[in-house]
Amino acid sequence: MTKRAVDLFLSLCGLIVLTPLSAAIAIAIKLDSRGPILFKQERVGLDGQPFEILKFRSMVKDATRLAPNVSSTDDPRVTGVGAFLRRWFLDELPQLINVLKGDMSIVGPRPETPEYVALYSPEERKVLSVKPGIVGPSTLAFVNEPEILAGCEDPHSYYIDTLMHQRVKLDLEYLEHQSLRYDLQLLGKQLQKIVAKD
């Protein structure tokens, strides 16, 4: 109950305070390229239930039909505005709506798409026993994921064979340490990493 109350408070405050910024981002997206302002995608949430995650669109229209569902820093599908949004994690802001709706928490394991969850081992599926989050251990540890994938010959294969499992392993550790204090620590560290980006 405490976690849900914190989620509601932070998501409401965030949506209100960031309204001017969100409006500016929406205008920039429409001016930069054709397509919708928001990107919607099915993800797997609590107890394996699907939900629709929201992001500001950072790629060209129908980008998921052009290449696999992983993206590196040199991905040609990323728009000019999209590259800026991704650099500062501003494309994630609409997920505050997911938190408000109850699909996600501010802090928790990062939600994956169904095709990747289908590759989880029985042990890895335990990560679905809590709500996914905008920020979490794997998000913090792999804040440079696009750069890692850019250095791979086959980013998609590397993601499903290696990186995805490394991320889930970290998120499984969240289940052992989750508490309000731990959530606030992870959130603070994530904000520090974003601000500290060159």
- pLDDT band, very low/low/confident/very high, at 74 (cuts 50, 70, 90): confident
- pLDDT band, very low/low/confident/very high, at 45 (cuts 50, 70, 90): very high
**Rounded CA Rg of the chain:** 16
Handedness of CA 114, 95, 52, 48 (dihedral sign): positive
**Averaged pLDDT, 23-33:** 97
Residue 34 burial (10 A CB sphere; 0-12, 13-18, 19+) = exposed
Q: What pLDDT was estimated at residue 31?
A: 97
Q: Which range of residues forms the domain containing residue 189?
A: 2-195
Tally of helices (H runs) and strands (E runs) in the chain: 10, 4
Q: What pLDDT was estimated at residue 75?
A: 87
Q: What is the pTM of this model?
A: 0.92
Q: What pLDDT was estimated at residue 170?
A: 95
Residues 77 and 63: their CA atoms lie apart, in Å, by: 6
Residues 85 and 33: their CA atoms lie apart, in Å, by: 14
Residue 1 has pLDDT above 90, yes or no: no
How many domains does the chain divide into? Answer: 1
Distances 2 to 105, 109, 156, 175, 179 between C-alpha atoms, Å = 12, 18, 38, 16, 10
Residue 13 has pLDDT above 70, yes or no: yes
User: What is the average pLDDT value for the chain, to the nearest integer?
Assistant: 93
According to DSSP, the β-strands at 105-107 and 50-56 are unpaired
- Residue range 170-191, pLDDT digits in tens: 999 999 999 999 999 999 999 8
According to DSSP, the β-strands at 133-135 and 105-107 are parallel
- Residue range 49-73, pLDDT digits in tens: 999 999 999 999 888 777 777 888 8
**Averaged pLDDT, 111-133:** 97
147: phi then psi, degrees, rounded to nearest 5: -70, -40
